[in-house]
Amino acid sequence: MTEHTAHLDPYLCARFYINGQWCLPVVDASLPVINPATETVVAHVAKGSAQDVDLAVSAARAAFAHWSLSTIDTRVQVLTRLHELMLARTEAFAQVLTLEMGAAISFARAMQVPLAAEHIRVVRDLLPHYSFETMEGGTAIAREAIGVCALITPWNWPLYQITAKAAAAIAAGCTVVLKPSELSPLSALLFAQLMHDAGVPAGVFNLVNGGGADVGEAMAAHPDVDMISITGSNRAGALVAQAAAPTFKRVTQELGGKSPNLMLPDADFATAVEKGVMSAFRNVGQSCSAPTRMLVPRNRLAEVEALAAATANAIVVGDPACVDTVMGPIANEAQFNRVQAMIDAGLNGGAKLVCGGPGRVAGMDTGFYARPTIFSEVDACMRIAQEEIFGPVLCIMPYDTVEQALALANNTVYGLSAHVQGTDLAQVRAVASRIRAGQVLLNYPAWNPHAPFGGYKRSGNGREFGVFGFEEYLETKALIGV
């Protein structure tokens, strides 16, 4: 893909979207955007400051007065136009996602963009049926928009996380200030233009690009922000919570994961192992819910290793612009280096290397291309078993009993997601009920955009998607004596 394929607009890159207009930053500063497939700068975007955040929050605060009182029909109409426009511009979004974070173009077209559009459709469809007021005895319970919402989104699923947050907030009657990741900001600029073209009223949606220290912290600490929602690393989540604490605003966080994939003894291993590897390596392993710990019966370990290696070795790694590519590059240099360090940690820690290993993919000296890597005989005390790697690295961990497997599954500070495979559905459900995670997937079901997504323990707090994500943007009021 040439760097012109995505039709980047230098005008948008140099500006923020505030109060319905494209505005130059208060301070003239910019950030480079790197194509991870070529390691070249493909754009510069405006770098925001606390002053830009003030302008955006002020616009959002003013707009909240009328948007919070808008009719359900008005919001449904806006969300309908937004959904239609996103589907119409799927190719433009897919090309930009490939450019800014290396998503394979086929994956961007089939997953990154359509699933992002689904978040808009789901909240649009639930709005007319949602009861914003219910009765409890002689008391009316009202659900009202919480206010101005600051949204911080990550680089690994840029558009998908933007729509999950922004669509729910706007549907609830809130107004928004968005800070996308500075590593993948281009799709967010296209989304802002989408908002404008869909007729979202001025001030309801605002965007300020920049880093966490400059923009994210200012948003979290701002006294006129009522809620902040962040998807990101545990470090970033902690910093946001600390900055938000003095103003007592609501903070929702979707953070790290180290998800287990527990294969019960009666699982169909020929199918389950292949699907498990591909699930772990989806989006180049850069998913917080990726099932990167495969727990298998010890007496099936050699079989699992062979199946897993065959699957990983068949993955087509290459130019993300090629339609045959399954796995493009790691999204940025810092993450590539992190993945390499963790592969070294696995080797140094005594894990058995089944396939892959350190270094770039053979013949690909340019671009952040990591080798699909599988370790076996991984012990729970090893770093690769405990720390989120966020790359194409899978740990196979043997167990002797189902009770031991459950202990391994729960032996993590995280609790975002988990998988269980087996043919005895009663046992699958019983095992799933004992795993401490916000979402457990049984035998690789289809993605459900209505299913609540969020974690236990250090994976964060709050939920996203469907009605559960929508309600995060509502306050509860009791009207007593009505």
Give pLDDT tens digits for 206-257.
Answer: 999 999 999 999 999 999 999 999 999 999 999 999 999 999 999 999 999 9
Q: How confident is the model at residue 125 (pLDDT cuts 50, 70, 90)?
A: very high
CATH number at residue 295: 3.40.309.10
**End-to-end alpha carbon distance in the chain:** 63
Would the pLDDT of 344 be above 70? yes
User: Is 270 contained in some domain?
Assistant: yes
The pLDDT value recorded for residue 4 is 38
* Residue 200 and residue 280 in one domain: no
Share of the chain above pLDDT 90, in %: 98
User: Is 219 contained in some domain?
Assistant: yes
User: Is 332 contained in some domain?
Assistant: yes
CATH number at residue 182: 3.40.605.10
209 contacts 46 by C-beta, under 8 angstroms: yes
Give the SS3 label for residue 249.
coil
The pLDDT value recorded for residue 36 is 98
* Residue 473 and residue 429 in one domain: no
Q: Which whole number is the average pLDDT over 261-270?
A: 98
Environment class of residue 444 by beta-carbon count within 10 Å: exposed (0-12), middle (13-18) or buried (19+)? middle
Name the pTM for this structure.
0.96
* Residue 59 and residue 161 in one domain: yes
* Residue 273 and residue 403 in one domain: yes
* Residue 321 and residue 235 in one domain: no
Would the pLDDT of 2 be above 80? no
The pLDDT value recorded for residue 5 is 42
* Residue 248 and residue 265 in one domain: no
User: Is 70 contained in some domain?
Assistant: yes
DSSP lists the bridge partners of residue 418 as 440
* Residue 336 and residue 246 in one domain: no
* Residue 235 and residue 268 in one domain: no
How far is the C-alpha of 119 from the C-alpha of 328, rounded, in Å? 25
The pLDDT value recorded for residue 8 is 75
User: Is 4 contained in some domain?
Assistant: no
Nearest CA to 15 out of 55, 74, 73 is that of: 55
Q: How confident is the model at residue 6 (pLDDT cuts 50, 70, 90)?
A: low
Question: Which tokens sit at 455?
Answer: 């974690």
Give pLDDT tens digits for 374-405.
Answer: 999 999 999 999 999 999 999 999 999 999 99
Within 8 A by CB and 6+ apart from 106, the residues are 323, 324, 325, 326
Would the pLDDT of 127 be above 80? yes
* Residue 14 and residue 89 in one domain: yes
User: Is 5 contained in some domain?
Assistant: no
Would the pLDDT of 1 be above 50? no
Give pLDDT tens digits for 271-293.
Answer: 999 999 999 999 999 999 999 99
Q: 302: domain range? A: 260-447
How far is the C-alpha of 41 from the C-alpha of 43, rounded, in Å? 6
User: Is 160 contained in some domain?
Assistant: yes
Would the pLDDT of 9 be above 90? no
Structural domain count of the chain:
2
Would the pLDDT of 437 be above 50? yes
* Residue 325 and residue 297 in one domain: yes
User: Is 452 contained in some domain?
Assistant: no
Q: Which whole number is the average pLDDT over 184-202?
A: 97
Enumerate the active-site residues: 254, 288
What is the three-state SS of 348-383? Answer: HCCCEEEECCCCECCCCCCCCCECCEEEECCCCCCH
* Residue 238 and residue 267 in one domain: no
* Residue 311 and residue 361 in one domain: yes
